[in-house]
Amino acid sequence: MNKRVAILGAGSWGLAVSRLLAQQGCKISMWEFDPEDYKRLVTTRCNPDKLADFKLDDGVELTADPVDAVVGVDVIVVAVSSQHVRSVMNVVRDAIGRDVIVVNLAKGVEKGSLQRMSEVIVEEAGVEPNRVATLSGPSHAEEVAFDMPTTVVVASVNSDLAVQVQELFSTERFRVYQSDDVVGVELGGSLKNIIAIAAGIIDSLSLGDNTKGALITRGLAEITRLGVAMGARAETFAGLSGLGDMVTTCFSRHSRNRYVGEKLGLGMKLDEVLAGMTMIAEGVETTRSGRDLARRHAVEMPITEEVYHVLFENKDAREALGNLMGRRLRAEIWQ
Q: Are residues 175 and 244 in the same domain?
A: no
Q: Does the annotation count 192 as an active-site position?
A: yes
Q: Is the pTM of this model over 0.85?
A: yes
Q: For residue range 143-197, list pLDDT tens digits in order.
A: 999 999 999 999 999 999 999 999 999 999 999 999 999 999 999 999 999 999 9
Domain count, the chain: 2
Q: Are residues 192 and 321 in the same domain?
A: yes
| Candidates 3, 39, 107, 192; catalytic one | 192
- Residue 268, burial from CB neighbour count under 10 angstroms (0-12, 13-18, 19+): middle
pLDDT attached to residue 335: 64
Handedness of CA 165, 171, 173, 177 (dihedral sign): positive
Give 270's contacts (C-beta < 8 A, 6+ positions apart).
Answer: 260, 264, 284, 311, 312
Q: Which of 131, 155, 180 is the last residue of a domain?
A: 180
Q: Is residue 242 part of a domain?
A: yes
Nearest CA among 140, 153, 81 for reference residue 110: 81
Q: Are residues 192 and 309 in the same domain?
A: yes
Q: Are residues 299 and 273 in the same domain?
A: yes
133, 103 contact by CB (below 8 A): yes
Q: Are residues 257 and 295 in the same domain?
A: yes
Arithmetic mean of pLDDT over the chain? 96
Rounded CA separation 242/286 (Å): 15
Q: Is residue 334 part of a domain?
A: no
Q: Is residue 330 part of a domain?
A: no
pLDDT attached to residue 111: 94
Q: Which of 146, 180, 214 is the last residue of a domain?
A: 180
Domain ranges, residue 266:
183-325
Q: Are residues 101 and 228 in the same domain?
A: no
Nearest CA among 133, 134, 67, 128 for reference residue 99: 128
Rounded CA separation 3/164 (Å): 11
pLDDT attached to residue 271: 92
Q: Are residues 108 and 153 in the same domain?
A: yes
- Residue 97, burial from CB neighbour count under 10 angstroms (0-12, 13-18, 19+): middle
